[in-house]
Amino acid sequence: MKRLFVSLVTVGLFAGCGVPKSQLDAKAVEAENYRRQYGDESEKAKSLEAKVAQLSADLETAQKERTKSDEAAAASEARAQELKKKVTELSALNESLAQSKDKLEKARAELEKKSEEYESLAKSLKDEIKSGKIELSELKGRMVVQMKDKILFSSGSVKINPEGQAALAKVADALKGTSSKLIRVEGHTDDVPTDPKGSFPSNWELSTTRAIEVVKLLQDKGVPGERLSAVGYGEHHPIASNRTAQGKSLNRRIEIVLAPEEQAPGGKSGSASR
């Protein structure tokens, strides 16, 4: 309306100046055309500005989405690399476990492997082992013949009773065939103190004397003396708790240990290990 008013004023001015009416009408039409063109162009400009704004917003949104997509892709790649690393570590661990298992199986088989001497000794003493008078074990070439003291000795005594003598005679016969082993007889007691004023002031004397008596009998039965030795440990190497009668009974024992010959006192291997 403002521009129409300006156009009419302009026409009026021309009319006041004596310009022909036809010319004025033409100018008015021309002015109206310009006004319409201006209005059209203004609308187009506004439409274009709106489109530019929308395009800018769309572009910004697209850029944000692409950034998120790139970040997600990077995170996914990082996770993939981490998983790949864990798979590699797991494979290495499985291989290591397999090797360890193989070593353990070989070690177990080696530990459980019994020597010919053990088999021979077990065969010779099978009746005594079956009856529970004797227990036989072997670990890494070291054999142990374990006998409960009640089979060998009466309570508080160091004299071997008839049942013990018969059992030791069988042991002696079996030991004669183990020429490559040293034979050490070990005496053990429970933790009950002896009478300090008696024949054995402590368990040291009792355990040692009993071990010596067994050594003497084995030698009398034909086991070479140079392969024999005796030692007493008193109550200091229990194999069970001394809090129960059963435990005390297990701890009162004689162990005949068969060790490799190179462990002999003064031997090269024995000297090097001390």
Single-letter amino acid, residue 167: A
Residues 28 and 161 in one domain: no
Tokens matching residue 145:
């013949």
CA distances for 243 relative to 5, 13, 14, 225, 235, angstroms: 125, 135, 136, 38, 13
- How far is the C-alpha of 37 from the C-alpha of 211, rounded, in Å? 131
CA distances for 91 relative to 82, 83, 95, angstroms: 14, 12, 6
The number of residues making up the chain comes to 274
Residues 153 and 105 in one domain: no
18: left (phi over 0), alpha (psi -120 to 50) or beta: left
Q: Among 21-30, 88-97, 230-239, which stretch is predicted with the lowest mean pLDDT? A: 21-30
Give the residue, 38 or 226, on which the prediction is more confident: 226
Residues 41 and 167 in one domain: no
Rg, the chain, Cα only:
55
What pLDDT shows up at residue 4? 44
Q: Among 114-123, 125-134, 222-231, which stretch is predicted with the lowest mean pLDDT? A: 114-123
54: left (phi over 0), alpha (psi -120 to 50) or beta: alpha
Residues 104 and 172 in one domain: no
Strands 253-260 and 142-148 come out as antiparallel
Residue 248: partners with Cβ closer than 8 Å, 6 or more residues away:
190, 191, 192, 240, 242
Contact 145, 256 (CB under 8 A): yes
What pLDDT shows up at residue 221? 94
Of 109, 127, 155, the residue that ends a domain is: 109
Residues 7 and 138 in one domain: no
Total number of domains in the chain? 2
Tokens matching residue 12:
């009026």
Rounded to an integer, the average pLDDT of 134-148 is 85
Contact 269, 222 (CB under 8 A): no
Could you give the percent of the chain with pLDDT greater than 90? 32
Helix (H/G/I), strand (E/B), else coil: 50: helix
Give the residue, 254 or 261, on which the prediction is more confident: 254
Tokens matching residue 192:
């009950």
Residues 52 and 103 in one domain: yes
What pLDDT shows up at residue 189? 93
Look at residue 5 and tell me whether its pLDDT is greater than 70: no
Which range marks the domain in which residue 222 is found?
116-273
User: For the domain that residue 209 is a member of, what is the CATH number?
Assistant: 3.30.1330.60
Task: Give backbone dihedrals phi and psi of 61, rounded to 5 degrees, phi first.
Answer: -60, -45
Of 76, 109, 142, the residue that ends a domain is: 109
Of 109, 130, 162, the residue that ends a domain is: 109
Q: Name the one residue in this structure whose structure tokens are 């400009």.
A: 45
